Amino acid sequence: ERVAAVLILDVSRFRVINESIGHALGDRVLQEVATSLQAQLRPGDSLARPEADRFAVLLADLREGKDAVRVCRRLLG
């Protein structure tokens, strides 16, 4: 039996970043965050940006729930 997990990641203080450096550079920051997150995911996982400063990650086909915790630590580390 396999499990899946959905992670919601919030870019801390993004509003402050966006207001201090401007929306164009703020968008670039989000692109860099997305690129970094995607590079750390497995081929079967999915990354989405459902809100301005939030990312959602679908971790598919995990062996156990603890694997999701390991991925969280890797993404946030």
Classify 61 as helix, strand or coil: strand
User: How far is Cα of residue 13 from the mean position of the Cα atoms in its chain?
Assistant: 15
Which of the residues are catalytic?
53
> CB neighbours (10 Å) of residue 59?
20
Look-up of token digits 């995911």: 41
